[in-house]
Amino acid sequence: MCYFLLEMNAQMASARDYINDLSAAGRHHFTTGEAVAALGGSIVAVRAALRRSSRRGEIAAPYRGFFVIVPPEYRRLRCLPPEQFIPHLMKHLGVQYYVALLSAAELHGAAHQRPQRFQVMVPKNRRPIECGEVRIQFVARHDLERTPVVEMNTPRGRMRVSSPEATAVELVGYADQCGGLDNVASVLSELVESLNAPKLLNAARLCPVVWSQRLGYLLEMTNHTELASALADHVRTQGATLAPLVRAKPMTGAPRAERWKLAVNASVESDV
């Protein structure tokens, strides 16, 4: 027992030096395996030392076996901001990803209201992450490798983000994950400044046509006629069938938007 306590105390001091050295070198993440290899000693003692560092708020573990170093300016979060570690975590897991939906819209300048969760598109469903005050939601899209993305700089490296046009289309396609169509319309009213009509059409062609039907209607409703017109021929030529504006509501008796082959079964109001 005495030997173990001595070893644990030594590992605690070594762990702090290891964390400080990584931070000084500009690296803010590591794995349990890397820590064990760097510190030596038993994995039990290293894990105990890392737990102590975690309790002091020096590190956090957004995923089992994957740690982030938390600088003083982020101690109130008890974690790094998600954009500063998601690329490294996804690489560690070997999972394709891009930042999507409301989080992507915010990064593209549609910052009407800060999303409560950082939204990340992945190929399969994954459990959400809670790390201190940080909340990360994973949304599944099996063909995400087709989605147009851009790379953005973060303080810790480069991050994949859906393009403004792909973001616009997916906001409508995943409206239930984005606070409903009212909120989507509010976000779109700011995102339109970043949209390019030909690129919007290209992004729409990679998605179910019903997403274009709903997006075109919302763009036309908010007087963004050039962007709406870019989708109109796509909707017409794809032989789209009549679809509800809001999927979960009945279409019976709803007025029709013939250009978009939509049953307008709900009123949509943007608060911008």
Please tell me whether residues 31 and 158 are part of one structural domain. Answer: no
Please tell me whether residues 6 and 128 are part of one structural domain. Answer: no
Total of domains in the chain: 2
DSSP 113-169: S--SSEEEEESS----EEETTEEEEEEE-TTGGGS-EEEEEETTEEEEEE-HHHHHH
Please tell me whether residues 58 and 89 are part of one structural domain. Answer: no
Please tell me whether residues 13 and 143 are part of one structural domain. Answer: no
Q: Decide if 30 is inside a domain.
A: yes
Q: Decide if 182 is inside a domain.
A: yes
- Residues 24, 213: Cα–Cα separation, whole Å: 51
Please tell me whether residues 53 and 106 are part of one structural domain. Answer: no
Please tell me whether residues 24 and 150 are part of one structural domain. Answer: no
Give me the sign of the Cα torsion angle 243, 248, 181, 118. Answer: negative
Tell the burial category of 21 from Cβ atoms under 10 Å away from its Cβ (0-12, 13-18, 19+). Answer: exposed
List average pLDDT for each run of 10 residues in the chain, which is 272 residues long. Answer: 43 79 94 92 88 95 97 95 97 98 96 86 97 98 97 94 98 96 94 97 96 97 94 89 92 94 91 68
Which domain range does residue 69 map to? 2-80
For the entire predicted model, the pTM comes to: 0.91
Please tell me whether residues 54 and 95 are part of one structural domain. Answer: no
Q: How far is residue 98 CA from its own chain's centroid?
A: 7
The CATH number linked to 70 is: 1.10.10.10
pLDDT at 269: 82
Please tell me whether residues 55 and 97 are part of one structural domain. Answer: no
